[in-house]
Amino acid sequence: METSGGIQASLSGRYAVALFDLARDANALDTVAESLGALKAAVAESPDFKGLITSPVLSRDAAGKTIAAVASSMGIDALTAKFLGVLAQNRRLGQLPAVIRAYETLLSNHKGEARAEVTSAHPLTKTQITALAKSLKARVGREVAVEAKVDPAILGGLVVKIGSQMIDSSIRTRLNTLAMAMKG
């Protein structure tokens, strides 16, 4: 398997590798990825869900039952739901966002594609994301999975991270560079 030592070295990475191996064996890599995507959105959008996974007060059993109910209501696949139960029993639900990121990286590596985290001041359209992916593919030399984020603080332009490489064409950075140049 083409996992990097960096992913396996972290706790969340070990969980992600275990889930990835189980999903690969069950021929459910994309199904698990869809479920994890729904969970990722829930963490980002729901303060209650984020509170559930980070609460130190909930007992293992209560966390397990609650996460099972949430998974069922969200239509999460059986493998991912069982995995969430394991995280709850091990008091590791707080690791879920990091596990999801590591799983996404493993899946991209498995598919032979690079992952690009793109931050823009305003939401990008599907057409813009497709054009950006095509442009990044020409630069990187392989397919690129684009994860779009919105951060109004960058004012405009894009910040693109692919692995350890970062391309920052944000207006905020340009203004900061100009301010530094003016200070001499």
Task: Tell the burial category of 93 from Cβ atoms under 10 Å away from its Cβ (0-12, 13-18, 19+).
Answer: buried
pTM higher than the cut 0.85: no
Provide mean pLDDT across the span 152-175. 90
How many angstroms separate the CA atoms of 149 and 55, rounded? 26
pLDDT band at 94 (very low <50, low <70, confident <90, very high): very high
Average pLDDT, the chain: 90
How many angstroms separate the CA atoms of 132 and 35, rounded? 25
pLDDT band at 6 (very low <50, low <70, confident <90, very high): low
CA proximity to 148, closest of 41, 52, 58 = 41
- Write out pLDDT tens, residues 124-163: 999 999 999 999 999 888 899 898 999 999 999 999 998 7
Provide mean pLDDT across the span 3-28. 84
The pair of structure tokens assigned to 31 is 């199904």
pLDDT at 23 over 90: yes
